[in-house]
C-alpha cells in the first residue's frame, strides 16, 4: 500500500471552515451593498495576466512578489498571478474605454497573490474588495472614496476606526523645490517603512538609495512628521512652505482642505478622519490623495482599507488619459482582526439555515419536505435532517451547528395537525397549527433580526 499524502496547507495560505466562511460571505454581501449604493458596477478580470501587464507597475519590490505562471505545454507566453486588482483594472479600462464611457465606476472582489513573508493577518493568497472611479481628476471623486471607506467600516459594525489621509502632492512639492522630483520613487519606498524601522534607518536608506544628502533627507522627514489635528496640521504645512511656496504643494493642501470641509459638512465624525503626512503608500503608481484605515482597537494589524489616486497608471496601456482613484478593502486581514476582537458578526454558526426540521418518523418524510419547501418559498432557510434518529441526537446536531429553531412532529402531532417549534437557545417550545407554522417562524425570525440589529 502506498504512503498517504499528508494533508496540509502551504505557508501563507489558509482554509476557511464554515464559521469563518459564513462570516466572509456576510462581509462580501455588505461590502457589495455599499458599493452599489454609490453606483459602482461590478466587473471581473482573470487571475492570470501577461507578465508585461504586471511588471513595473508597483515598483521593484512588487515585481519581486509576483508569482510567475508556467504552462506545462508551452513557455512562449509569460504569465503571472495578479498581485492586486488595480493594475488589471487599468489594463481593463484601457482595453474597453470606448465601450465603458467616462467617468466609469467599478467594483471587483476576488483573490490576489503576493510571494511575501506571511504574518498575522498577512497571507500570500488573499481577497481584495476594490472600488474605483476612472476618467476624472475631480477632487469630488477623492472625497467620495473617503466616504465609501467610512460607510464600509460602519456597515461591518465598526465604530472605532480612523481613515488616515495624505496627498502625495505635498511631498512632490518639497521634492520639486529641492530638485529631487526624479528621485521620488526610492524616497517614497523608504518613507513607507517609517512605522516599521524608524526615523534614523529611513534617513539612512534615503541617503543610500535615493542618493540625497543627509540635510535633504532631514527636510523630507521634517515635513512628513509634522503633527497636529487636521486643519491645524494643514496650517503648519502651509507655514512649512511659506518661504518657498510650490504649486504642487498648494494644490495638495487645497484638495485636503476641501475633503475635510465636505466630510465635516455632511456629518462624518471628525475623530474618524486624520490627516497623516507619514502615509505615502509604497506602490509607485499613486500620484495624489492616499488613504489607510486603522481599527482603534487593533492598530497593529495594519491598514484594513487602503488606496489612493493614480493618474498615470493606465498610460502604460493607452495614450488616452485615464486618471483614476479608488481603494481596496483587505477581506482576509479584516477577518483576522474581527476574529481577534471577537466581532459579533463572527457568530459561531456552522450553517446558514435558521430552521432544522427534525425527522421524527421516516414514514412522514414527504410531510417534512412539504413544510421545508413552504418555508423556503417564504424566504426562510431550512434543513431537513436526513435520518430518523433519536430526537436528542438531532437536537444536539442543531445546537452544535447554530440553528435558531427546530421544528418537530411525530404521528401524534400529525394526528392533531400540529408542529412543535422549539427555540434552541432558550430551550422553549410552542405548539403551532400546521397552517400557521410559516407565519409563526417568519415573525420569530423578524424579531430575532431586529433584536440583533439593535
Give the CATH class of 355-453.
alpha beta
In residues, how long is the chain?
Answer: 454
Domain boundaries of the chain, sorted by first residue: 18-341, 355-453
Residue environment code for 99-128, b if the CB has 16+ CB neighbours within 10 A, otherwise e: ebeeebbbbbbbebbbeeeeeebbbbebbb
> Taking the domain 18-341, which CATH number applies?
3.30.930.10
Instruction: Give the pairing of strands 405-408 and 355-357.
Output: parallel
- Please tell me the least confidently modeled range out of 104-113, 150-159, 312-321: 312-321
pLDDT above 70 covers a percentage of the chain that reads 98
Say what the pTM is.
Answer: 0.90
CB 313 within 8 A of CB 86: yes
**pLDDT tens digit string along 65-81?**
999 998 877 677 899 99
Predicted local distance difference test score (pLDDT) of residue 153: 98
Predicted local distance difference test score (pLDDT) of residue 193: 86
* Nearest-5° Cα angle at 92, 91 to 93: 95
Q: In the predicted model, what is the mean pLDDT of residues 328-351?
A: 90
pLDDT-derived band at 1, boundaries 50, 70, 90: low
Predicted local distance difference test score (pLDDT) of residue 399: 95
- Please tell me the least confidently modeled range out of 56-70, 169-183, 389-403: 56-70
pLDDT higher than 70, residue 453: no
Most confident of 51-55, 207-211, 253-257, 313-317: 253-257
Q: In the predicted model, what is the mean pLDDT of residues 300-315?
A: 92
CB 160 within 8 A of CB 296: yes
Mean pLDDT of the chain, nearest integer: 93
pLDDT higher than 70, residue 454: no
Amino acid at each position: 500500500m502506498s504512503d498517504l499524502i499528508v494533508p496540509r496547507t502551504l505557508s501563507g495560505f489558509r482554509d476557511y471552515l464554515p464559521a469563518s466562511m459564513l462570516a466572509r460571505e456576510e462581509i462580501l454581501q455588505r461590502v457589495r451593498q455599499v458599493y452599489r449604493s454609490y453606483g459602482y458596477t461590478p466587473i471581473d478580470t482573470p487571475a492570470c495576466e501577461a507578465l508585461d501587464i504586471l511588471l513595473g507597475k508597483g515598483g521593484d519590490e512588487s515585481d519581486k512578489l509576483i508569482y510567475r505562471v508556467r504552462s506545462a505545454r508551452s513557455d512562449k507566453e509569460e504569465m503571472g498571478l495578479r498581485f492586486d486588482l488595480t493594475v488589471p483594472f487599468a489594463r481593463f479600462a484601457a482595453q474597453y474605454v470606448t465601450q465603458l464611457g467616462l467617468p466609469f465606476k467599478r467594483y471587483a472582489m476576488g483573490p490576489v497573490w503576493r510571494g511575501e513573508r506571511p504574518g498575522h493577518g498577512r497571507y500570500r493568497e488573499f481577497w481584495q474588495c476594490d472600488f474605483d472611479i476612472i476618467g476624472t481628476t475631480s477632487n469630488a471623486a477623492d472625497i467620495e472614496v473617503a466616504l465609501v471607506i467610512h460607510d464600509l467600516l460602519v456597515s461591518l459594525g465598526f465604530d472605532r476606526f480612523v481613515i488616515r489621509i495624505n496627498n502625495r502632492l505635498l511631498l512632490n512639492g518639497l521634492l520639486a523645490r529641492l530638485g529631487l522630483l526624479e528621485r521620488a520613487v526610492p524616497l517614497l519606498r523608504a518613507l513607507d517603512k517609517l512605522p516599521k524601522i524608524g526615523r534614523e534607518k529611513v534617513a539612512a536608506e534615503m541617503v543610500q538609495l535615493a542618493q540625497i544628502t543627509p540635510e535633504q533627507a532631514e527636510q523630507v522627514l521634517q515635513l512628513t512628521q509634522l503633527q497636529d489635528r487636521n486643519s491645524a496640521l494643514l496650517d503648519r504645512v502651509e507655514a512649512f512652505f511659506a518661504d518657498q511656496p510650490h504649486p504642487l504643494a498648494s494644490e495638495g493642501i487645497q484638495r485636503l482642505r476641501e475633503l475635510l470641509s465636505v466630510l465635516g459638512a455632511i456629518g462624518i465624525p471628525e475623530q474618524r478622519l486624520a490627516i497623516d503626512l507619514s502615509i505615502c503608500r509604497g506602490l509607485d503608481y499613486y500620484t495624489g490623495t492616499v488613504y489607510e484605515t486603522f481599527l482603534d482597537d487593533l492598530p497593529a494589524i495594519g491598514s484594513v482599507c487602503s488606496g489612493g489616486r493614480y493618474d498615470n497608471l493606465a498610460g502604460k496601456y493607452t495614450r488616452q488619459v485615464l486618471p483614476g482613484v479608488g481603494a481596496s478593502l483587505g477581506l482576509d486581514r479584516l477577518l483576522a482582526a474581527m476574529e481577534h476582537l471577537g466581532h459579533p458578526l463572527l457568530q459561531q454558526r456552522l450553517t446558514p439555515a435558521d430552521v432544522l426540521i427534525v425527522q421524527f418518523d421516516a414514514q412522514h418524510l414527504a410531510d417534512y419536505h412539504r413544510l421545508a419547501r413552504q418555508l423556503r418559498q417564504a424566504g426562510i432557510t431550512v434543513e431537513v435532517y436526513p435520518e430518523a434518529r433519536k430526537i436528542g441526537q438531532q437536537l444536539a446536531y442543531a445546537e452544535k451547528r447554530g440553528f435558531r429553531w427546530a421544528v418537530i412532529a411525530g404521528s401524534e402531532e400529525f394526528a392533531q395537525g400540529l408542529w412543535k417549534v422549539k427555540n434552541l437557545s432558550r430551550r422553549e417550545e410552542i405548539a403551532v397549527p400546521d397552517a400557521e407554522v410559516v407565519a409563526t417562524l417568519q415573525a420569530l425570525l423578524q424579531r430575532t433580526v431586529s433584536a440583533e440589529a439593535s
